[in-house]
Amino acid sequence: MDADWIGWASSALLLLTLGQQVRKQWMSGESSGVSKWLFIGQLLASVGFSVYSFLLETWAFLATNALLVINALLGAWVTLRNRRRAGAAKKGHPAPG
């Protein structure tokens, strides 16, 4: 078996798993219990690993980490959006757009 397929398969699994978490938060409108540090740490690690993967020319990990940067940004945005909406609802204000 070609070792690259192990990397690509693992990358796909990781992306699907983390993407599903962000999708769940988006669909439910709920982000309680999700630490903002999850996405901050993921973003910083993924940027670092992207640079590292580029320098080593490991394309499976470069692609994975570039997509994880996008996932981290989306996850952080969804979490902040959900928390703003929850805070507005507690104060009796309409939820912001």
Residue-wise pLDDT for 64-96, tens only, equals 999 999 999 999 999 999 989 888 887 876 655
For helices 59-90 and 36-56, the axis angle rounded to 10 degrees is 160
pLDDT value of position 37: 86
Q: How many CB atoms lie within 10 A of CB 80?
A: 13
97 pLDDT above the threshold of 60: no
pLDDT value of position 78: 92
Is residue 63 within 8 A of residue 11, CB to CB? The reply is yes
The rounded distance, in Å, linking the Cα atoms of 63 and 78 is 23
pTM (predicted TM-score)? 0.76
Q: What percent of the chain has pLDDT over 90?
A: 38
Of 25, 37, 19, the C-alpha closest to 79 is 25
Count Cβ atoms within 10 A of the Cβ of residue 15 and give its class: 0-12 exposed, 13-18 middle, 19 or more buried.
middle
